[in-house]
Structure 1
């Protein structure tokens, strides 16, 4: 069931999303080669707690405050004291904050040091996919209009698109209806986009194959061919005449 949010709920979700944007603005410049993924997790958790929030992923029993995935890890990488960030890595940091029961969700892929130009382009295109998906997210369109917008850009560049995981509704829980695939031929419902929807739009784009595999830890998802993946995500809220990017790092609104 799709939950349309009222004004009070939207304001609560907006506060959570703005706090998440503040956190990313603070931590992205700190992500450096030589840090462990647990170091990044600790910084994020400390920020959340200091500002009255807590990790939303705890609702999902995830073993970390954030998901942090490197190179061929697509999503759900578990923070570890043994995993060291290296020069040239693409590090995707996926975070949700639970602030007074309101959930935010956003991902930024951080390019560390001397990154291969192919991977830089992959992330640039993934950001283009995200922008196009948000532009298609407006009242009267359907969810798969978002999917199609993402897919067209990724395929134009010859990249793989993750079928097995997708965007989703968010705000009162971590994962809500509807699912938002990044490919238009993905099965399932295709509801119209309505005022009051709060959605997490999140292209997961691979340098090579569409296919992914699950690691032995039962959480981390990796590309099947071992090539890099990029992940970018924003939480948005749909109004009658525009769509607001709640997790925008500059708190900007997009006019649909």
Structure 2
């Protein structure tokens, strides 16, 4: 056997040994991981006393899910179930009212609710299924439903059943309907519902604002612009008064929301002068 063949044989033997060692290490790591997983499974089952529940968890392969995670998931499913029951109940109620020719008692039919759902999703920027105070400020103030940031917060608190500081679609509908416990339907509440119905059907006011197939944010912007113009130019005193109310509320909202930015700019402008005065002292 020449030297090149012997070298080749030597390398092959070394590679074989290396592969065997690697396989041994991998099997040891797998065993360590299995042991660690088993320890974690036992740890997760410690807090569960009921033997039937323990057995059920093992049979369904839920050992690696913590008890706390299971409780959270259970609550989420219960919440989803209650919401679906509520939707079904409302849908059945609407169908009953339609069948018995009592449409005047329906706030929004299925088609209108579908459109309102689109409006809601346009406010839900992150797709979480809920919207917060900041997303509601602009539309509620622009539409004249609220007059200040504090008003928006109060309206949210009235319908925020789970106190999450965010509202979901049904709570959004409750705001539009101005639904409060123990209160009957007021003239203002009816006006707000009619306002949204007109928006859904594509026309607002005297027909001068076309809203059909427009994105909700653009509709809000168009309505706000119209109200601001009414505040300045309208000869109709009622429209002028409503426009002035929106102008005042929206101006205040802009001032509050822009205040941190302005203070940061002022701080940034002060810093160079402070540095220059420090260098002059040196």
Structure with bigger strand share is 1
Fold-level match, TM-score > 0.5? no
Larger radius of gyration: 2
Name the TM-score, length of structure 2 as normaliser. Answer: 0.23
Structure with bigger helix share is 2
Greater RCO (CA < 8 Å, at least 6 residues apart)? 1
Name the TM-score, length of structure 1 as normaliser. Answer: 0.25
